Amino acid sequence: MALTAKQLKAHKDALAKLRAETLSKGAAKIEPNRTDEASSGVADEDAQALSEMLQAINSNRNAGQAQLVARIDKALRKIADDPEMVGLCEECEEPIPAARLKAVPYAQFCAACQSKRDPARGMARKKTTDFV
Ligand SMILES: [Zn+2]
């Protein structure tokens, strides 16, 4: 069952709002490497290592942000091009629960299909702890 015009409008507004919020956060600020030659030593090496680590984390975050905006754009395009499919899982074509759509307005799949498609998610999470 497709969303009603009213639901579709609310869904579109939620996506537009989320998109604006995501973009307003901007690219995470990346601190330049320390090039202060006057202060060298162990403490500075630590700071350098920390700075490099933060850059790695920030660049991951920026990639995640770009990916999120791309997914939101895709969802917005779907509302324009294929409104009768909005709110349906792209895999099993069952309606995505309203609560899930509200939490993840750019969701393409129901929770069951998402977890089937995304078995590596746990591994990705494990990777980020490699930084710590
Ligand atoms: Zn599904």
Give me ligand 1 centre to Cα 109, in Å: 5
- The whole-model pTM stands at 0.66
Please report the sign of the dihedral spanned by the C-alpha atoms of residue 65, residue 117, residue 125, residue 49: negative
pLDDT of residue 63: 85
pLDDT of residue 121: 55
Q: How far apart are CA 17 and CA 30, in angstroms?
A: 26
- The domains of the chain, with CATH numbers, are 5-28+39-131 (1.20.120.910)
Give the tokens for residue 26: 């901007």
Instruction: Find the largest Cα–Cα distance for the chain.
Output: 68
Q: Torsion angle of alpha carbons 122, 124, 127, 128, nearest 10°? A: -100
pLDDT tens figures, 21-40: 999 886 555 556 555 555 55
Low-confidence residues of the chain, pLDDT below 50? Answer: 128-129
CB 89 within 8 A of CB 109: yes
Give me ligand 1 centre to Cα 117, in Å: 10
